Structure 1
Amino acid sequence: MHQPAVSAALKRLRDLAGDPLLVRSGASMMPTDAALRMVEPAALILRSAEALFSDARGFDPRTATRTFRVAASDYLDPLFLPQLVARIKSHAPLCPIEILPLSADAHYHAHLAQGDVDVVIGNWPQPPDDLHMGRLFGDEVVCLVNQDHPAVRRGWTEADWLAAEHIAPTPTHPGARGVIDAHLDSLGLARNITARCAHFSAIPHIVASSLLVLTTGRQFCERFTAQLPLAILPSPVAFPRLMYYQLWHARTHHSAAAIWLRDTVKSVAASLRKE
């Protein structure tokens, strides 16, 4: 700033503060007590402004301190979230990361719109068209059962499968229909759900100690068959492939930090498909 601009800015600050702020002391200017009290809050405001506008100029993961917030369904491959956190901490070591649930009492639209969440990761029969969407991977629908389940020995018909006792996840929000039951509805069918669990990653352990049937993606199921007495069976009802997406709001569409996060999510998903 040139000297006249500095004088004009100082005059505006003096008017706002009701204080001279700088006073002459011999040949130099000295800050008043009021000016000294303003230094630390002003520095905080300037640092916040720097963080605010640095994202518009670009995002350097090595030095950034931005917090990333990801809401994710645990229907995902159980390796996904641990590997995502590890990747973020490796490449952006100063950035805190929060993994939030897709809970039954909160709607992800509101969290994205309010900026409480950067991306939401999950699977939907049809992603909402009012959000931006990036496809991560597709997966075959199969059934996970105890290895001593009668269907392992004798197989099952569509009627057998519908009548069997099923376990299903608790809906992500009131009124939500999971992809399995939404498809069955479209066929005029309904399965016999006798158990629900809000913790999807716990369901394979429940299945391993019961005759309940879990119907979900093969990639998820295969992570548990080596460690639990479980078997994977084909579904007698034909399902479209489960499609997993990441969703984000228009407010973060052009954010350099959010773009970096979405690219990281995509690369982790791609690495799991190759395993």
Structure 2
Amino acid sequence: MSMFDKIDLHLIRVLHTVLTERNVSRAALKLGMHQPAVSAALKRLRELAGDPLLVRSGAGMVPTVAGLRMIEPAADILRSAEVMFSDARRFDPATARHTFSLAASDYLDPFFLPQLVIHLKAAAPHCAIDIHALSRDADYRAHLAQGTVDVVIGNWVEPPGDLHLGRLFGDEVVCLVSNQHPAVRRGWDEAAWLAAEHVAPMPAYPGARGFIDEHLARKGLARNITARCPHFGLIPAMVAGSLLVLTTGRQYAERYTAVLPVQVLPCPVNFPRMMYYQLWHERTHASAAGRWLREQIKHVAASLRQPEHVAPQEAA
């Protein structure tokens, strides 16, 4: 049996208390223990140290040289243990030194990630932030399980049931087109919309369908996708100079109407609202830092939400 197997935190606490109180009776009172139990613990400590640790001197007791050397290391161990377990229960963003890691879809409101980083850096100035792309090559379930990512943010037709889920907001499906697109003047019906040239993000994995195409497939429909791009943030500029149609959430689309020659049109196909979520694994569910991060994500999402959007809710 190794030395570590013979020592527990309670024994270290007895050691520190006996050495600082220099009296077994006072140490027992401070520890809330019976004196024989403290004496028994001191006997174990003496055997482990190979030293008496505390010896009589006149009417009192004093630590030996070895005992004196143990006072500060024992205090360090107790302080570290207190910090370790208190940090598991609470998180102080003002003083914490922690790395937050999240993966996010770029289909989100283009203001979301910038505002989230600004908010996190203001509230937790000593914490680092790692943002990973939610790409077709990313196995986000594995990253959450392994702890390389704390939270995944995106939209799913049916969110995975094996992860914790917090709803951020819902969004109306609309179309973003150039000011010069014929539908701006003529309008369109379902057939015209399906036949138009569409631009879409690259699938999450080969053969996968996103929110729009999954819903169309369930209705037995398919749109005419003539361009795909893995960088969602570049698509509005492509739309502005072409006859391509981007079908996405209103909150995303309306961010570009003031900076590009584009307009938002209603979609002639009836879609359910696009729902955006944050997902996390059981391993971080009870983490104080994890809970704090999820609250900040929810707060920023709510602050950017358009009036018609659904109020955010986080699952327990």
Is this a same-fold pair by TM over 0.5?
yes
Q: Which residue of 2 aligns with 1:192?
A: 224
Q: Which residue of 2 aligns with 1:153?
A: 185
- Percent of aligned pairs sharing the same letter: 64
1:131 is the counterpart of 2:143: no
Structure 1 residue 166, shift from structure 2 partner: 0.6
Q: Deviations over 1:115-169 (max 9, x none)?
A: 1111111111111111111110111100001110111111112111111111101
Task: Name stretches of at least 5 consecutive residues in structure 1 with no aligned partner.
Answer: 15-19, 33-38
The 3 A distance-change label for structure 1 pair 175 and 109 is: farther
> Which letter does structure 1 place at the counterpart of 2:14?
H
Higher RCO (CA < 8 A, seq sep 6+): 1
The answer on whether the counterparts of 2:89 and 2:287 sit within 8 Å (CA) in structure 1 is no
Q: Which residue of 2 aligns with 1:257?
A: 289
Structure 1 residue 194, shift from structure 2 partner: 1.1
Query: What is the TM-score of this pair, normalised by structure 1?
Result: 0.84
1:236 is the counterpart of 2:259: no
Aligned residues: 256
1:100 is the counterpart of 2:100: no
C-alpha separation in 2, matches of 1:13 and 1:193: 76
C-alpha separation in 1, matches of 2:49 and 2:125: 39
Secondary structure in structure 2 of the residue aligned to 1:2: helix
Secondary structure in structure 1 of the residue aligned to 2:96: coil
Task: Name stretches of at least 5 consecutive residues in structure 2 with no aligned partner.
Answer: 1-12, 16-39, 54-63, 308-316
Q: Which residue of 2 aligns with 1:68?
A: 100
The answer on whether the counterparts of 1:106 and 1:173 sit within 8 Å (CA) in structure 2 is no
Structure 1 residue 2, shift from structure 2 partner: 2.9
Alpha carbon RMSD of aligned pairs, Å? Answer: 2.7
> Which letter does structure 2 place at the counterpart of 1:155?
G
The 3 A distance-change label for structure 1 pair 30 and 241 is: same
Task: Work out which of the two has the higher radius of gyration on C-alpha atoms and give 1 or 2.
Answer: 2
The answer on whether the counterparts of 1:107 and 1:173 sit within 8 Å (CA) in structure 2 is no
The 3 A distance-change label for structure 1 pair 92 and 154 is: same
The answer on whether the counterparts of 2:174 and 2:265 sit within 8 Å (CA) in structure 1 is yes
The answer on whether the counterparts of 2:251 and 2:306 sit within 8 Å (CA) in structure 1 is no
